[in-house]
Amino acid sequence: MSKEALGRRIPVLEVFGPTVQGEGMVIGQKTMFVRTAGCDYSCSWCDSAFTWDGSGKQDIRMITASEVWEELRQVGGSTFSHVTLSGGNPALLPQLGELIDLLHAEGVKVALETQGSRWQDWFHRIDDLTLSPKPPSSGMTTDWDVLDEIVGKLRSEGRSYSLKVVIFDEADLRYATSVHHRYPGVTFYLQAGNDDVKEQDSSVLLRRLMDRYLWLVDTAMSSEELKDVRVLPQLHAWLWGNKRGV
């Protein structure tokens, strides 16, 4: 295969669904998931570390946009009209533009979440776009120049998008507050983080996640700095625990 042909292929780790989107701006949305491999970050609490830590390497398939669409059809039949591109960080992949156009041509809407560390021109064609910069507990450092530039490009096109910050502690909440104030008027989500991605007993995990969510709700409700915010859990983790592929 030529280098060009290979470059158009997408590193796919998982195709699953339909299921409900468990978080953020389209929480509850019936959607299929396409999970791509590779990330420029390595968040300490990443719930999909197999996309970048080498442990899922043998499951990566380099496939074309058409092959992704065929697989979506095979797995989801005719039950869906919404696809979520997840990672990893799908924003590393310029070749996703072809898949997005193909999905649109099939009448399918496309959602994407990314940390906002890389720009792709196809961001303009995402129906439900979430920028989710990572707070201090992740161990990552936000490049504000890059994030400002991405937000600026989206704003100049009048594109609707949302911001989301995952919260584990007080320092994360201060970071989130600064993000909220830096980009005023953008729909802003606070999400209670899952601080135990290994727990296999889903009822134990549920109690823990609900407590963390209630803490975040209480804290955000009493804040005068966080007025126009939406505070959400990860619904899928409440329902299915740390299981993959749901």
**Residues of this chain that bind its own copies (CB under 8 A):** 17-20, 26-30, 77-82, 109, 189, 210, 213-214, 217, 220-224, 226-233, 235, 238-239
Q: Nearest approach, Cβ of 42 to its own copies (angstroms)?
A: 28
Contact in structure between 68 and 15 (CB atoms under 8 Å): yes
DSSP state of 37: P
Nearest CB to its own copies, comparing residues 163 and 232: 232
User: What is the C-alpha separation between 92 and 73, in angstroms, rounded?
Assistant: 25
Nearest CB to its own copies, comparing residues 171 and 214: 214
Binding residues for Mg(2+): 48
What is the Cβ-side half-sphere exposure of residue 182, based on CA atoms within 13 angstroms? 15
Nearest CB to its own copies, comparing residues 6 and 210: 210
Q: Which residue has the tokens 């669904």?
A: 17
Q: Nearest approach, Cβ of 55 to its own copies (angstroms)?
A: 28
Contact in structure between 21 and 84 (CB atoms under 8 Å): yes
Binding residues for S-adenosyl-L-methionine: 45-47, 88, 132-134
Nearest CB to its own copies, comparing residues 57 and 73: 73
Binding residues for [4Fe-4S] cluster: 39, 43, 46
Judging by DSSP bridges, how do beta strands 82-86 and 10-20 pair with one another?
unpaired
User: What is the C-alpha separation between 236 and 231, in angstroms, rounded?
Assistant: 15
DSSP state of 160: -
Nearest CB to its own copies, comparing residues 61 and 182: 182
Q: Nearest approach, Cβ of 225 to its own copies (angstroms)?
A: 9
Q: Nearest approach, Cβ of 7 to its own copies (angstroms)?
A: 33
The answer to whether the peptide bond before residue 88 is cis (omega within 30 degrees of 0) is yes
**Other CB atoms within 10 A of residue 8 CB:** 15
Nearest CB to its own copies, comparing residues 34 and 140: 34
**Other CB atoms within 10 A of residue 223 CB:** 12
Nearby residues of 52 by Cβ (< 8 Å), 6 or more positions away: 37, 38, 39, 41, 42, 46, 88
Q: Nearest approach, Cβ of 71 to its own copies (angstroms)?
A: 17
Judging by DSSP bridges, how do beta strands 61-63 and 10-20 pair with one another?
antiparallel
Q: Nearest approach, Cβ of 175 to its own copies (angstroms)?
A: 18
Binding residues: 20-22, 35, 39, 43, 45-48, 86, 88, 132-134
